Amino acid sequence: MNSNNICIVNHPLCSHNLSIIRDKNTTAEVFRSAIKRITYLLFYKATEDLELEEIEVQTPLEKCKSKILNRKNEIIIAPILRAGLIFSDIANEIIPYATVRHIGMYRDEETLTPIWYYNKIPVEFDNPENKIILILDPMLATGNSAIDAIRLFTNKKVPQKNIRFVSLISAPEGLEKVTNAFPDIKIVTASIDNCLNEFGYIRPGLGDAGDRIFNTVEK
């Protein structure tokens, strides 16, 4: 596994809220709130190396040099439906001028391969080297969906180094597969769990993130 670009957010608030969302008795309302608290920490880490440019601003007292995000870059938030939507809510708060491009896919439970059903990405990008991509999915399990989503952008000439994959929890198997395929992307996660089970679910994990977020867990 190429671990150079894997960033684990080791923060007490991350650990605390991860414990909340792992608990099977946590209600959907509390589950969503805890994920949102973690998401702020994940996004601060995922965006800490964004380029800045210097400008001059007029304060109430005088002019001064200040810095803003480089205006030549377009930030694209790409949540993988449906569970990634909860990430995009926070992303819109932190980066309100970013472009949101939804990606729709679900996993075939027998083959564990992703099946596409929605794609809001242009056929090609102008100036792809100036696109900064934040792909959002709470779970990086087998890595199959992550690889398909990343390839969607690299096929449009977006450099790997401009892509960040943001997840709540990740499996070693998925991380190895993704980093072997795309060694230059940045992966930001709150936890690397133990392994996948025979059904491709992360252990110990937290169950199906989408079902728990949207309260569709079978009783």
Q: Is 99 tagged catalytic?
A: no
CA distances for 26 relative to 50, 61, 184, 189, angstroms: 35, 51, 36, 21
Exactly one of 111, 151, 203, 216 is catalytic; name it: 111
Burial of 132 (0-12, 13-18, 19+ CB in 10 A): buried
Q: Where are the alpha helices (DSSP H) in the chain?
A: 12-22, 28-46, 85-94, 144-154, 172-181, 209-213
C-beta of residue 105 within 8 angstroms of C-beta of residue 81: yes
Q: Which residue has the tokens 């569709």?
A: 216
- 107 as an active site residue: the answer is yes
Active-site position among 32, 37, 107, 148: 107
Active-site choice (32, 148, 184, 211): 211
Annotated catalytic residue 208: yes
Q: Is position 211 annotated as part of the catalytic site?
A: yes
Say whether 124 sits in a helix, a strand or coil: coil
- Residue 157 CA to residue 135 CA, distance in Å, equals 16
> Among all residues, which ones are annotated catalytic?
107, 111, 208, 211
